[in-house]
Amino acid sequence: MLLTAREVGLEPLQVACELALECGVITAAVVMNELRRLTAPPRPSDISLPEQLRLRVEPVADCGRYDHLRGSQYVH
């Protein structure tokens, strides 16, 4: 974690530690997750797409389809 502090600075690391303490779960993984959230680049704004690239039919999750593709060899 100290190597990460050298990359991002002590202040973001301190804030990440404080956020982890507020959650009540104090592990390196939680601190690193908070640190990544703090230092992540901003998300790009919505892109305007031409009409040809827009979805006409939204995809639908169909877990039964995957069960069918697996076949009867899969045992629960």
Q: What pLDDT shows up at residue 5?
A: 78
Whether residue 62 has pLDDT greater than 80: yes
Distance of CA 4 to the CA centre of its chain: 19
Quick: pLDDT tens for 8-59: 888 999 999 999 999 888 898 999 999 999 999 888 888 888 888 888 888 8
Integer Cα distance of 11 and 17 in angstroms: 10
Cα 1 from Cα 8, distance rounded (Å): 11
Cβ(1)–Cβ(28) below 8 Å? yes
